Amino acid sequence: MVRRIAVLVSALVAAPLLVAAPASAIPACRAGFQCDRVYYTDATHDVAVGGFTRFCDGSTITWGETTSFQVTRQAACQ
């Protein structure tokens, strides 16, 4: 549970680094990168309703629901 909250907080804090993508162009999570994706209720991206994270060790977590309104962030693994 703490890990899920940390992922959401990190996604929200890194908002200036986020890249929005339409549903037809969801970026693939590249090898060697951590991939965070947050799903929102609408295009305003005000209310997060779900998320997905693939960590550098290959493990993943998901929560909530998926929508076509999403923001994906990738960071190189150390």
Taking only the tens of pLDDT, the chain with its 78 residues reads 555 555 555 555 444 444 444 444 556 788 899 999 999 999 999 999 999 999 999 999 999 999 999 999 999 998
pTM comes to 0.62
3-state class (DSSP) for residue 41: coil
Q: Of all helices (H) and strands (E), which one includes residue 12? A: helix 2-13
Q: For residue 64, what pLDDT is reported? A: 97
Rounded CA-CA distance 54/42 in Å is 23
Q: What distance in Å separates the CA atoms of residue 3 and residue 21, rounded to the nearest whole number?
A: 25
Residue 66 burial (CB count, 10 A)? 14
Per-residue confidence (pLDDT) for residue 15, from 0 to 100: 44
Distance CA 7, CA 31 (A): 19
